[in-house]
C-alpha cells in the first residue's frame, strides 16, 4: 500500500481521516497533504475546533439533538408549536428539515434506527422518553420522519405500535417521486408509495 511509504506522523493523520464516513484512503491522503501544506495556524485551528466539539456540545434534554445550550434553541423557542413533534433519525436530518423551513413544531432525535444486529434497541433510541414527552408536553401529533429504508420503516412501525395506547395522532412523512425526476425512472416501490400518498390538487 502507498501509505506504507508515508512518514509515521502523516500516516497517523491519513488513518484517522480514513475513519470518517465517505472518506477513503486516497481522499484521506489528499486531505492530510493539504493540511501539511497549509500554514500551521490553520492546522491548529482545525485540531482545536474538533477538540472543542466534545467540550462544548451536549444533548438537549428535551429533544436530544446536539446543542451548546440546554434546552436547545428550537425547544426553547416559544414560537415553535409544542403540540407537534417530528421524530428524526439523527441531528443531520433535523438540520435538513430546518433548512426546508416548513416545519414549525419541535423534534425528537433518535440517534439511529432499530437494528438488533448492531445492538440498537428501543432503549438506545430514547423511545420511552418520547412516550413520556407526549403526556408532559401535551403533544397532539407525532410525525415519524425516519428514512424509507428497511430499518427506517421498521422503526416507524415500532414507534406507531408503542404509542397506540396514547391519544396522539401518528403520521408518517410521505415518500414519492423526487422533484425533477422523470417518472419512468422511478422504481416500482417508490411509484407505489407516491400513489398512496397522493393529495387533491
Q: Which residues contact Zn ion (rule: CB under 5 A)? A: 60, 62-63, 71-72, 75
Shortest Cβ 72–Zn ion spacing (Å): 3
As a whole number of angstroms, the distance between CA 84 and CA 74 comes to: 13
Shortest Cβ 69–Zn ion spacing (Å): 9
H or E element in which residue 82 lies = strand 81-88
Cβ count within 10 A of residue 79? 5
Nearest to 107 by CA among 151, 68, 139, 135: 139
Quick one: how far is CA 139 from the chain centroid?
A: 22
H or E element in which residue 47 lies = helix 40-56
Compare residues 75 and 84 and give the one whose CB is closer to Zn ion.
75
Shortest Cβ 70–Zn ion spacing (Å): 8
Compare residues 60 and 84 and give the one whose CB is closer to Zn ion.
60
Shortest Cβ 75–Zn ion spacing (Å): 3
- Residues 6 or more apart whose CB falls under 8 angstroms from that of 33 comprise 10
Compare residues 62 and 159 and give the one whose CB is closer to Zn ion.
62
Compare residues 71 and 176 and give the one whose CB is closer to Zn ion.
71
Compare residues 62 and 142 and give the one whose CB is closer to Zn ion.
62
What cell was used for 50?
Answer: 474538533
Shortest Cβ 109–Zn ion spacing (Å): 8
Q: What angle do CA 42, 48, 53 make, to 5 degrees?
A: 130
Amino acid at each position: 500500500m502507498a501509505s506504507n511509504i508515508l512518514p509515521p506522523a502523516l500516516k497517523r493523520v491519513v488513518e484517522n481521516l480514513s475513519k470518517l464516513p465517505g472518506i477513503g484512503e486516497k481522499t484521506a491522503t489528499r486531505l492530510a497533504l493539504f493540511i501539511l501544506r497549509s500554514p500551521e495556524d490553520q492546522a491548529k485551528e482545525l485540531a482545536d475546533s474538533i477538540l472543542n466539539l466534545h467540550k462544548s456540545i451536549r444533548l438537549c434534554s428535551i429533544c436530544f439533538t446536539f446543542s451548546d445550550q440546554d434546552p436547545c434553541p428550537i425547544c426553547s423557542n416559544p414560537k415553535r408549536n409544542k403540540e407537534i413533534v417530528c421524530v428524526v433519525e439523527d441531528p443531520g436530518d433535523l438540520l435538513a428539515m430546518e433548512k426546508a423551513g416548513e416545519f414549525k413544531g419541535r423534534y425528537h432525535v433518535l440517534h439511529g434506527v432499530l437494528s438488533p444486529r448492531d445492538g440498537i434497541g428501543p432503549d438506545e433510541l430514547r423511545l420511552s422518553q418520547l412516550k413520556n414527552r407526549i403526556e408532559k408536553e401535551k403533544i397532539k401529533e407525532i410525525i415519524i420522519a425516519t428514512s424509507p429504508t428497511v430499518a427506517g420503516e421498521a422503526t416507524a412501525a415500532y414507534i406507531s405500535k408503542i404509542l397506540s395506547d396514547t391519544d396522539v395522532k401518528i403520521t408518517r412523512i410521505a415518500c414519492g417521486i423526487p422533484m425533477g425526476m422523470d417518472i419512468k425512472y422511478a422504481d416500482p416501490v417508490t411509484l407505489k408509495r407516491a400513489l398512496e400518498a397522493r393529495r387533491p390538487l
